[in-house]
Structure 1
Amino acid sequence: MPLVLPLLLAVLLFCIGVYGILARRNAITVLMSFELMLNAVNLNLVAFDAWRLDGLATGQTLAVFVITIAAAEIGLGLAIVLLLFRGHGHVDVDAARDLVEVDRVRTNDLAEKGTDR
């Protein structure tokens, strides 16, 4: 099989992932887009490994390693999204950026008053 076909598919998947990260505001959609980008990288690794024909499985081994790291990343990411939803009732990425500043100001105000949360 020619190397061009898997590489074109990987570029398409990567571009869809980049679009999903840049254009979407839902945190779960952003995580899914990031996973799509990682899968495009995995496709590149396996395609180049098959193209080399050296008998070693280095590309496939790296792809399994990336899948393992991605599984840990998605578990941690979904836990953070769940905490965000429980605490604030939404999973909007743009609003989550604003919440960091609001919590910091609120914590400083409470510290000045000498009260605990």
Structure 2
Amino acid sequence: MFEQALILGAYILCVGFFGLITSRNTVRALMSLESIFNAITLNFITLSNLSTNREGGEIFSLFVIAVAAAEAATGLAIALSIHRNRKSTRIDQSNLLKW
């Protein structure tokens, strides 16, 4: 059971990294980053069930979820503002943050 959960977490992590590296769309990159955070959370919960201190991994997973929520809110706000100005959400076409 633990091996299957760790393998699933590793698979989701690899899919997230692949999506993050190959995506040209900002929203797709944010979705891939969310899947990476979900894989990390799954691995923390699985590994906390193996140890005697079960609360450590679960509390750290709550912090990961909070960071993921903050990243989603700020990332989508930035993507919406870039889309309003440039009419595109492609990562390679948005150079608004350059001086």
TM-score (structure 2 length as normaliser)? 0.93
Which residue pairs with 1:108 in the alignment? none
State the shift of 1:69 in Å: 1.0
Q: Given the alignment, which residue of 68, 79, 82 partners 2:80?
A: 82
Question: Secondary structure at 1:95's aligned position in 2?
Answer: coil
Q: Secondary structure at the residue paired with 2:7?
A: helix
What's the CA shift for 1:95? 1.0
Structure 2 Cα separation of the partners of residues 100 and 50 of structure 1: 43
Shift of 1:100: 4.3
Alignment RMSD? 1.3
Q: 1:23-102 alignment to 2 at 5 Å?
A: 23-52=22-51, 54-96=52-94, 98-101=95-98
After superposition, what is the alpha-carbon deviation per residue over 1:36-91, rounded to whole angstroms, capped at 9, x for unaligned? 00110001100000111x25311011001100111011100000000000000000
Which protein shows a greater Rg? 1
- TM-score, with length taken from structure 1: 0.79
Residue number in structure 2 paired with 1:10: 9
